[in-house]
Amino acid sequence: MSDSALLAAVVADDEEGPALTVLRRSRHAAAASIGPWRLIASKLLRQRLAVAAGCVILLLYAIGGLAEFLAPALPDAARPQYTYAPPQPLHLFRTAPNGTTQFGPYVEGYRIAVDPVALRRSFVADTSRPVQVALFVRGPAYRLWGLIPMTTHLIGPVVSSQPMYLLGADRLGRDVLSRLVYGTRVSMSIGLAGVTVSLVLGVVLGAVSGFYGGVVDTLIQRAIEVVSAMPTIPLWLGLAAAIPLTWSPLSVYFVITLIVSLLGWTSLAREVRGRFLALRGEDFVTAARLDGAGEGRLIFRHILPSLTSHILAVVTLAVPTMIVAETSLSFLGIGLKPPVVSWGVMMQDAQNIRTIATAPWLLIWPALAVVLAVLAFNFFGDGLRDAADPYGD
């Protein structure tokens, strides 16, 4: 019934356009003067998975940015008495001796039990000694971003000498949660520098190669083939050995990523070249040439804007590669080295099967963090790639 009513409404005698039944007011179909970037943004926002992934990425960077404040302890505060202390569950409600229950977060303290047969010491929860936990507590002193002296932590034990290991402790009794939070900063940011270098090299060389063609193109393409034939892992090993020992571990790693990113630009350069070759022959580029546009203007005003969103997508997909590279190299002991804290360095502590058997949290948490970060970047990059061409379909 309603169907025919709808049809009757649209069938007018002299029609101006195709018959439509509007289901939903489209926000941008009506407004024709919305620029390409807002179209991309709205197309991206429609993909729930990509949006969720974007939120995760933002959250990870926020954690990295505020690491000192978010971590309950300092990353290298060792307390040998709590070696391999297991994670303590966080309880939110406390039962007073008189039987009433009230809000008051706490974790249970540790008691050392000795296995009479194996004579192995292990930690068991000690319900009689709850460690009171609160938000915004005073804890160990730190400098936020190395500048602002502060003592407030987001969460921590009210009495700062009491143990609180929400995600467990490592071989030296250091808090895994705090190390994970600090590691986020290093792991999430160190790849960015490398990606930036790859980006600049890839776009410039790809653009030159695709735009000018001919001999220049042939030379650059052959160079790309030579560079991409180089095996990266042996190169990393060699470079790691060649760098002076006096350098700080962080700057060593930084230099290595830069060098490896000098090899990593090739795929981006190929992609940019391909798109330049295609776009160079487009009518609108010929039109701009006939309008009198010089080469710079052709490249930067007419061709590159059509590529930017694709480049962004490629870069987003390159960041997780860098994160995985950091993690795996640190795990192998040729990337970052202690005292720097990163996810890969943390996993280095979980290299033997005995450790994994007795303290699985040493492997689980940093591995989960890596998986989460990589998946988030991949989902976001895929979404961005789909949204990158707002005029397709």
Binding mask 269-298 for other proteins (x = CB under 8 A): -------------xxx-xxxxxxxxx--x-
Structural contact between residues 180 and 343, judged by C-beta atoms closer than 8 angstroms:
yes
Q: Which CB sits closer to other proteins, 34 or 56?
A: 34
225 lies in the site for other proteins, by CB under 8 A: no
Q: What is the DSSP string of 100-125?
A: -EEEEEEEEEEEEEE-TTT--EEEEE
43 lies in the site for other proteins, by CB under 8 A: no
> Least distance (Å) from other proteins to the CB of residue 291?
4
Candidates 34, 150, 223, 258; binder of other proteins (CB under 8 A) is 34
Per CB under 8 A, the segment of 12-20, 139-147, 346-354, 362-370 that binds other proteins is: 12-20
Query: How many other C-beta atoms can be found within 10 angstroms of the C-beta atom of residue 65?
Result: 16
Residue 142 main-chain phi, psi, to 5 deg: -150, 170
Per CB under 8 A, contacts with other proteins among 293-312 are: 293-294, 297, 302, 305-306
Candidates 18, 146, 149, 214; binder of other proteins (CB under 8 A) is 18
Residue 33 main-chain phi, psi, to 5 deg: -100, 30
The three-state secondary structure class of 276 is helix
> Least distance (Å) from other proteins to the CB of residue 35?
7
Could you tell me the CA-to-CA distances from 263 to 201, 244, 275, 321 in Å, in that order? 10, 22, 21, 13
Burial class (CB in 10 A: 0-12, 13-18, 19+), 308: middle
244 lies in the site for other proteins, by CB under 8 A: no
Q: What is the DSSP string of 134-156?
A: EEEEEEEEEEETTTEEEEEEEEE
33 lies in the site for other proteins, by CB under 8 A: yes
15 lies in the site for other proteins, by CB under 8 A: yes
Q: Which CB sits closer to other proteins, 103 or 391?
A: 391
Residues in contact with other proteins by CB under 8 A are 7, 10-11, 14-15, 17-26, 29, 32-36, 282-284, 286-294, 297, 302, 305-306, 391
